[in-house]
């Protein structure tokens, strides 16, 4: 297993700082976010920094969905993002593109209609990924079709390509009302190629400050260092090791800027300690 950090936590920061922080934290890789960190013009800089710090690019996150809009201009923007993310992954030898459904924008639609639209719109990008040897890892989200393990599994099975798999985020399942581990893991383990690592707990008004509250979750929550929240990371790490998982585990603190360094470093240390057991 390779430990990485989520560069999306450093929006607007220079790439040199991101790679330096990854090295400082003790990570081995970074997940770069296309729209936040990485225009195509910066590929040479990324290659240079990767070599300088001995930090690889484990994935490109495109933060996009072909369900984003039915307006032709916005749909075309999403298509361009997908095309660019695949080009970027090829250029940087990143084996994974993390992507999303954002299916909650089709609220009220029949599940089969969501499946049909997503699969048909994704098809040309799947074909290119199959040609280039890149895997699209759909992240489970705390809302919509992929809110449940059953939903995300049905989506991947419906698409039916070996180049479409799952970015497993147990904390997103928790915040969407589903057991992240062991239930969701058992449902999805055959399709997991990538893992996002964060932890959270329910927000308590007289204990936590309002600034710590995560407002985009379906429960009132706040993120805490890995191993200090509701996710059974100890049990999950044992299973990942026992099942021979050899992909990346990428830490994304989702916390306040002043806590970012500590939470990243604590997460790397926690994962390393569990891998060493």
The residues spanned by each domain of the chain are: 2-276
- Per-residue confidence (pLDDT) for residue 45, from 0 to 100: 95
- Per-residue confidence (pLDDT) for residue 39, from 0 to 100: 73
CB 201 within 8 A of CB 209: no
- Per-residue confidence (pLDDT) for residue 8, from 0 to 100: 93
Place of tokens 């997940």: 31
Question: What is the Cα–Cα distance from 240 to 231, expressed in whole angstroms?
Answer: 14
Question: What is the Cα–Cα distance from 212 to 45, expressed in whole angstroms?
Answer: 34
pLDDT per residue rounded down to tens, the chain (277 residues): 999 999 999 988 999 999 999 999 999 999 999 877 677 778 999 999 999 999 999 999 998 888 866 667 778 888 999 999 999 999 999 999 999 998 887 878 899 999 999 999 999 999 999 999 999 999 999 989 999 999 999 999 999 999 999 999 999 999 999 999 999 999 999 999 999 999 998 877 777 777 666 654 556 788 899 999 999 999 999 999 999 999 999 999 988 888 999 999 999 999 999 999 9
CB 97 within 8 A of CB 122: no
CB 101 within 8 A of CB 145: yes
Q: Which residues contact 200 (CB under 8 A, 6 or more apart)?
A: 171, 174, 175, 214, 217, 221, 222, 223, 224, 229, 230, 231, 254
Helix ranges restricted to H, the chain: 15-25, 34-37, 43-53, 72-91, 111-132, 149-159, 170-175, 185-188, 233-242, 257-276
CB 263 within 8 A of CB 212: no
- Per-residue confidence (pLDDT) for residue 216, from 0 to 100: 46
Question: What is the Cα–Cα distance from 156 to 123, expressed in whole angstroms?
Answer: 13
Superfamily of domain 2-276: Divalent-metal-dependent TIM barrel enzymes (3.20.20.150)
Q: How far is CA 86 from CA 4, 59, 134, in A?
A: 20, 10, 8
CB 253 within 8 A of CB 210: no
Is residue 12 classed as helix, strand or coil in its secondary structure?
A: coil
- Per-residue confidence (pLDDT) for residue 222, from 0 to 100: 85
Identify the CA nearest to 222 among candidates 203, 204, 198: 203
Question: What is the Cα–Cα distance from 39 to 95, expressed in whole angstroms?
Answer: 18
Half-sphere exposure of 91 (CA within 13 A, CB side): 18
């Amino acid at each position: 297993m390779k430990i990485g950090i989520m560069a999306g936590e450093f929006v607007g920061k220079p790439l040199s700082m991101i790679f330096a922080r990854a090295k400082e934290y003790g990570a081995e890789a970074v997940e770069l976010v296309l729209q936040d960190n990485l225009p195509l013009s910066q590929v040479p800089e990324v290659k240079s920094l990767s070599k300088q710090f001995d930090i690889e690019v484990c994935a490109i996150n495109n933060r996009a969905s072909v369900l984003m809009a039915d307006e032709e201009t916005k749909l075309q923007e999403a298509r361009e993002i997908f095309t660019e993310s695949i080009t970027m992954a090829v250029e940087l030898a990143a084996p994974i593109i993390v992507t999303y459904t954002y299916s909650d924008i089709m609220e009220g639609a029949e599940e089969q209609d969501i499946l049909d639209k997503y699969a048909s719109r994704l098809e040309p990008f799947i074909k290119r990924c199959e040609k280039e040897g890149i895997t699209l890892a759909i992240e489970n989200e705390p809302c919509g079709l992929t809110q449940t393990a059953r939903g995300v599994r049905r989506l991947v099975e419906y698409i039916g390509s070996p180049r479409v798999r799952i970015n497993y985020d147990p904390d997103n399942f928790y915040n969407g009302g589903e057991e992240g581990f062991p239930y969701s893991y058992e449902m999805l383990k055959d399709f997991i190629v990538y893992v996002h690592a964060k932890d959270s707990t329910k927000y308590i008004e007289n204990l936590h400050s309002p600034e710590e509250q995560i407002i985009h979750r379906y429960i009132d929550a706040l993120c805490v260092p890995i191993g200090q929240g509701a996710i059974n990371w100890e049990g999950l790490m044992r299973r990942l090791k026992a099942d021979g998982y050899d992909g990346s585990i990428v830490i994304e603190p989702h916390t306040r800027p002043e806590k970012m360094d500590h939470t990243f470093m604590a997460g790397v240390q926690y994962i390393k300690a569990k891998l060493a057991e």
